[in-house]
Structure 1
Amino acid sequence: MTAAAIAGRLAKLDTCAVSDALESLGLDGAALGIHSVSVAKPVAGRVVTMELTEYAGIPAPRHLGTAAIDAAEPGDVIVVANAGRAQVSGWGGVLSAGAVTKGVAAVVTDGGVRDVDQASGYQLPVYAAGVVPQTARGRVIERTWNQPVTVAGVEVAPGDYVLADGSGVVFVPAGRAEEVLGAAERIAAKEELMAARALAGEPMVEVMGHDYESMLNGDTK
Structure 2
Amino acid sequence: MSAQGPQPAADLLARLRAVDTCAVSDALDALGLPGAVLGLRCVTGSHRIAGRAVTVDLVEIGRTETSSRHLGTAAVDASSTGDVIVVAHGGRVTMSGWGGVLAAGAARNGVEGVVVDGAVRDVDEAADLGLPVFAVTGVPVTARGRVVERAWNVEVVLRGVTVRPGDFVLADGSGVVVVPAAEVEPVLAKAEAVVAKEQAMVAKVREGLPMVDVMGADYENLLKG
How many angstroms apart in 2 are the aligned matches of 1:33 and 1:145? 23
Q: 1:213 maps to what in 2?
A: 220
1:70 to 77, 97, 111: 77
Percent identity between matched residues is 57
2:42 to 16, 36, 39: 36
> What's the counterpart of residue 138 of structure 1?
145
In the alignment, does 2:51 pair up with 1:45?
yes
Opposite residue 212 of structure 1, the aligned amino acid is Y
Which has the higher mean CA deviation after the structures are superposed, 18-27 or 50-59? 50-59
Deviation at 1:3, TM superposition (A): 1.3
Give the Cα separation in 2 of the matches to 1:37 and 1:82. 16
Equivalence for 2:12: 6
Q: Distance in 2 between matches of 1:10 and 1:210?
A: 27
Give deviations 1:124-169, integer Å, cap 9, x for gaps.
Answer: 0000011100100111110110000001110010000000000000
Q: Within the alignment, does 1:162 sit opposite 2:169 as a pair?
A: yes
SS at match of 2:96: coil
2:102 pairs with 1:107: no
Greater share of residues in strand: 2
Partner Cα distance (1:39, 1:70) in 2? 25
Match of 1:151 in 2: 158
Aligned residue for 1:84, secondary structure, equals strand
1:44-68 deviation digits (Å, cap 9, x = unpaired): 0111001100012853231000000
Preserved contact between residue 46 and residue 160 of structure 1 (Cα < 8 Å): yes
